[in-house]
Amino acid sequence: MNKTPQEQFMLEAISLSSHGMINNEGGPFGCVIVKNNMIIGRGHNKVISTNDPTAHAEIVAIRDACQHLGAFQLDGCQLYTSCEPCPMCLGAIYWARPEKVFYACTRSDAAQIGFDDHFIYEEIMSDQQQRKLPMKQLLRSEALKVFSSWSAKSDKTFY
Amino acid sequence: MNKTPQEQFMLEAISLSSHGMINNEGGPFGCVIVKNNMIIGRGHNKVISTNDPTAHAEIVAIRDACQHLGAFQLDGCQLYTSCEPCPMCLGAIYWARPEKVFYACTRSDAAQIGFDDHFIYEEIMSDQQQRKLPMKQLLRSEALKVFSSWSAKSDKTFY
């Protein structure tokens, strides 16, 4: 059966998920980023091979696509990921601002094979005092001085 | 007045936040990661200078510290950030697993100077159907085959 362009892009993301897993680079996750019907960024999970806990497929693909575009935003792009993004990657997607996200497996599917993104979703949605991760505030007034300098800065770039 | 070691580490994170801003590398955010009372990772926001929307201070510092350790986890480490982490960075922190987080400014302080992490928190906490970002599922059964291969894989590393 003929595949739609969207299905073909997703198959490429799934192919990357398999490739990285077979090479022991990380978990079974892949991602491609498309603009004007061309793939402009690719990524698969490289947490193990690069000792980088942030090297999830989506983050790797976003960085790759942004280098390709020479821009820090994915204007007019679609992101195809072989699994529903974890909170880190979903946050990265919001900062990168693609126009649409396609995903294949769900976060429940990921939990079934041992990746408990669900725990992180729960934690992020919890009040700070309820989280398992201890967080403590320190020296706010010192840091606010730098924020004031940012506000007063005339040559700043927003992102 | 004498500073505690914790305050000294936070002052270093704040100093990095100022440094990066003055050099037009990105927003006014800095981070250091400490293990056994030594700084083992540093980062400041480099979104603008590297065209990388994921180059927030915490992500940069986590990657730096993990390279230093040769590991994908921050066992026994403390993370000091000049501002409460955005959802992307908080997710990254959960994956990296430091034992404690210290922050100076709050997400409300960040919103005051134009960084609306609040919007991303709202979106991540919303049901997918309610989000501003369109998300669509595609080819789950194809991607699940790779998940099954992962489950059956005997030489995998968990992270």
**Cβ contact A146–B7 (<8 Å):** no
What pLDDT score does A95 carry?
Answer: 97
B113 touches chain A (CB under 8 A): yes
Cβ contact, residue pair B53, A59, below 8 Å: no
Can you give the pLDDT at residue B158? Answer: 87
Nearest CA-CA distance, residue B9 and chain A, Å: 10
Give the mean pLDDT of B55-84.
Answer: 98
B99 as an active site residue: the answer is: no
Q: Does B135 touch chain A (CB under 8 A)?
A: yes
The answer to whether the CB atoms of A137 and B103 lie below 8 A apart is yes
Mean pLDDT of B66-80: 98
Whether chain B has a CB inside 8 Å of the CB on A116: the answer is no
Instruction: Quote the pLDDT of residue A117.
Output: 86
Q: Is the pLDDT of residue B1 over 80?
A: no
Task: Using CB atoms, pick whichever of B135, B151, B157 lies closest to residue A101.
Answer: B135
- Mean pLDDT over B98-108 rounds to 97
Mean pLDDT of chain B: 96
Per-residue pLDDT of chain A (159 residues; tens, 9 = 90+): 689 999 999 999 999 999 999 999 999 999 999 999 999 999 999 999 999 999 999 999 999 999 999 999 999 999 999 999 999 999 999 999 999 999 999 999 999 999 978 899 999 999 999 999 999 999 999 999 999 999 999 999 888
Nearest CA in chain A to B70: A51
Contact A133/B93, CB-based, under 8 Å? yes
- H-type alpha helices, chain A: 5-22, 47-50, 57-69, 87-96, 107-112, 117-125, 140-152
Length of chain A: 159
B10: confidence class by pLDDT, cuts 50, 70, 90? very high
B29-61 tens-digit pLDDT: 999 999 999 999 999 999 999 999 999 999 999
Coil, helix or strand for A158? coil
pLDDT band at B116 (very low <50, low <70, confident <90, very high): confident
Q: Looking at residue B40, what is its pLDDT? A: 98
Give the residue from chain A lying closest to B111, CA to CA: A147
User: Taking residues B94-101, what's their average pLDDT?
Assistant: 98
Is the per-residue pLDDT at B86 higher than 90?
Answer: yes
Per cent of chain B over pLDDT 70 is 99
Residue B159 is predicted with a pLDDT of 87
Report whether pLDDT(B117) > 90. Answer: no
- Write the residue in A6, A105, A137 that is nearest to B143 by C-beta: A105
Q: Does B88 touch chain A (CB under 8 A)?
A: yes
B125–A contact, CB cutoff 8 A? yes
**Residue-wise DSSP of chain B:** -PPPHHHHHHHHHHHHHHHHHHTTSSSS-EEEEEETTEEEEEEE--HHHHT-TT--HHHHHHHHHHHHHTSSS-TTEEEEEEEPPPHHHHHHHHHH--SEEEEEE-HHHHHHTT--HHHHHHHHHS-GGG-SS-EEE--HHHHHHHHHHHHH-SS----
pLDDT exceeding 90 applies to what percent of chain B?
Answer: 93
